[in-house]
Structures are given as C-alpha cells and as structure tokens.
Amino acid sequence: MTRGLAFCCIFLVFYTGGLSEEPSAEKVYVVVFDFATPDVKKFDPAQTFKPMPFGRRLAGDVRLKLRREGKKIVVLDWHTTAEASGPLPADTPPETVKKLLAEKLGGHVGIFGTVHKTDQTVRAEIGCVDLRSKDNPAWSKVFQSRGERVRAILAKQIVETVLGKTLQQPVEYGHEPEPPREALGKPLNVNGSFDEGAKGWDAPDNVSTFLLPGPAGRGTILRVRTDLQRDPWLAYRKALRTGKANPANPPAIAKDTTYGSVAGLEGVHYRSRWIKATPKKRYWLLADCKHTTTGKRATPKVFVKGFLKIQKTPHAYDGLPESSLAEMNLTPEQFAALPEAKRRFLIEADVKKHPMRYVRECYRWYLSCPSESGKWNHFAAPFPPRGGLPEDVEYLQIQIYSYWPPGEYLWDNVQLHEAPGKK
C-alpha cells in the first residue's frame, strides 16, 4: 500500500491553546461544516449513484476523530449541521461562521474549508473559528497529502492542529523491530525453507508453482508464475483436485500478460499444511521474496488464515467438497439426485474421514511484501497487530499469494514463529 506523505504549509493565524480537555473544563461544542469541493465533476443524471463529494467525506473523518478524543468534546452531528448550512469554503468570512455558531447551532468552535483533489494529491485549506478565544479567535492553515490513505492522514493532521496535541498512533507494520532468530526459536510451520521439497506444503503443480534450486546460499526455493492463460490453468487446477491430472506430466500453458491472465484475476496461492493455533498468542511471520515481472514494483503477499471446525448442527454440513465427490466418483448432479437420507449418510461419513475439508475461515491477516523487480527482500511482521489471536481460531494456514504484475515470483524462508515474551 502506498503510504502518503503529509506536510503542512501556509501558516496564517494559529490559536495554540487547542480545545480544553482539563477535568474541570466545561464541554466544548464543535461544529465541523462540510468542506467545499469546487473541482468536483458535475453529476450525470443518467448515473444510478451520485458519489459523495470528497470534502464531505473528509469532514466526516474529522468529526469521527474529534469524537474519539474525550468526553468534554461534543461534535455536532452531520444532519443538524447540514440543516443550518451547506459546505463552507475556506474563504468564508469569520463573522459568518461566528453568526452560525452563536445564533443557529450553539457551538463554541467551527471548522470549515475547501478541498482541491487532483489525481491522488489532495490540498485542504482549513479554517477554524473559536468563540472562546478573545486574542486569536480564528486561524487558517493548508494541509496537503497524497496516496491511498490520504483522507486518514489529512484528518489526523487537521484534528491535531485543532486540539493542539499529537494523537496517539496505533501500532502499524514496522513499529516493532524483528526479534533475533535465537529469540524466535524453532518455526511452527514445517519446511519453511523448502529445502525438504514439498514437505509441509501443497505439491507444486509444475505449471504455476515449482520447487527448484535457488542461487548460492539459498538452497531450494519456490518459483511462482502468474503470466499464464487463465482458462487452461483453471481447467488444469480442477483436474488436479479431482485426480484427473498428474503434476509429473503437466500441460503446456501459453504465456499471457494481459489483465485477463492468471495474474490479473485469480493470482496463485501456494498453501502450507495445517498448523495448530494457540488462541491469545501473538506470532511473527518472516519471508524472503524476489520478483521479475512486467512492472518495476510488485506487492505480493503472504496470508495467514485462521480456521475453526464446524460444530455439528442440522445445517452445518450441507454438501460434499469437489475432491470428495471425485473420490466417490460422483458428479454434483448425481449427488443432488440421491435421496436425502443417502446424501446425509455420505456427508457424515466424509466428515469423519476428511474433517479438515470442512473447516471454515474465521481469521485473516497478511504480510505485505512490496519490492522492486530483480532484488531479494526480507519481510517480517507480528500479528495480530494488537492483542492476541481470537479464541475461536483452531488452525492456521500460510498461503503465499503472487498476482499482479504478471511474471515470476521467487520465495524462500517463509516461516511462522510464536512471538517471544508477552503477547
């Protein structure tokens, strides 16, 4: 994910007191007017959905963050604010804002502004009027940011300026240093280095996934191809699941680097065997990755998914997995035509024989691996980011996921560890 770079400029008049949050202070009533968005595209009546202006969405984010900052700060709701006034641009005279606060809304502080959006860059000109201040009742400031998290970044900057303090930052990727290997101990998953072949993992299909010798010092590595024609690959994967194909004799599937390829639609998952989970524990996931693709950068991922066994209820098991149907030499149509008692008998017998085919996903987290083409990179992060694993998670599975851009992805040392120390 692209991380936005936020900065502030054009400082005019700034009230440094911030909103009082002292225990003895009275409540402060804050009104956040919708921010004007002058360069928004004109709405086409032929469209079935009218997009919400960016300025209104950003103002909503500011309201939400302010509400989280203390019981003494009361933020007026959007409906009441909108009834009193539409969007207020940054050049609104302070006297107009003061009149709205004092005569219509009964507020102490008013926040307003203008938002300009071009591509992924957003410039927000924000003004604030504080009726409590006699010396500096108004200030104006410009904030600018870009990237996929631009609204979150701008809202945080605006609220910090209004409050006159730095907001607490939640734990994010990269905040915790990777522990030394001796502290992590033995990996919980089997053969994360791939040096023992497919032990602990799915067997490679030898079309999109391969296990082969790596460069000096790396031993065996996993090679993944995503630049493949989609329909023949899907047919081959289904044939493997139903026992009608052999990875020792794989088909030749043509290369495809369009958006209709495997890379552009499904991507390729390579799964580990089941790993017994320990609820309330934290874990570390490590991985080395290199890609040679049609793009300069790629962001493959390593998912860790949590699963639970389904408790037996009248509707818990209502069908057979594709692989089980193939083992019984039944088609879905033939199974559906059987009497209900016979279907129920086959399902219950298969649950006993293959219980892990009936687990359900209940947790998901991933390690993002952004990197430039042609370079090996090491990635590591703890999960869950805060607290421990949910109590309903019984099993974990690592799923290496390679997708866009189309090309070749190389993986090594994909290892799961229990986090040392306290959770």
Which domains, and CATH codes, for the chain? Answer: 7-163 (3.40.50), 181-418 (2.60.120.260)
Question: Closest by alpha carbon to 402, among 306, 302, 305?
Answer: 302
Q: How high is the pLDDT of residue 365? A: 96
Instruction: Tell me the CA distances in angstroms from 117 to 58, 122, 124, 125, one per residue in order.
Output: 12, 4, 9, 12
- The Cα–Cα gap between 286 and 300 comes to 14
Return all residues near 337 (Cβ < 8 A) that are at least 6 apart: none
In the chain (423 residues long), the average pLDDT of successive 10-residue segments reads: 39 45 70 89 54 91 90 92 95 95 94 89 94 84 89 94 84 76 95 97 98 95 98 97 95 97 97 96 97 89 94 72 94 95 93 92 94 91 90 96 97 97 59
pTM of the model: 0.66
- The Cα–Cα gap between 141 and 159 comes to 12
Q: How high is the pLDDT of residue 261? A: 97
Q: How high is the pLDDT of residue 313? A: 61
- The Cα–Cα gap between 90 and 126 comes to 6
Q: How high is the pLDDT of residue 294? A: 82
Q: How high is the pLDDT of residue 173? A: 58
- The Cα–Cα gap between 369 and 411 comes to 11
Q: How high is the pLDDT of residue 296? A: 81
Return all residues near 6 (Cβ < 8 A) that are at least 6 apart: 143, 144, 145, 153, 154, 157
How many of the other CB atoms lie within 10 Å of CB of 375?
Answer: 10
The phi and psi torsions of 276 (rounded to 5 degrees) equal -65, 130
Give tens-digit pLDDT for 353-363.
Answer: 999 999 999 99
Give 58: exposed, middle or buried? Use CB within 10 Å, 0-12, 13-18, 19+: buried
Q: Say if CB 293 and CB 373 are below 8 A apart.
A: yes
Q: How high is the pLDDT of residue 291? A: 94
Residue 414's identity, in one-letter code, is: V
Q: How high is the pLDDT of residue 16? A: 42
Q: How high is the pLDDT of residue 172? A: 61
- The Cα–Cα gap between 346 and 328 comes to 9
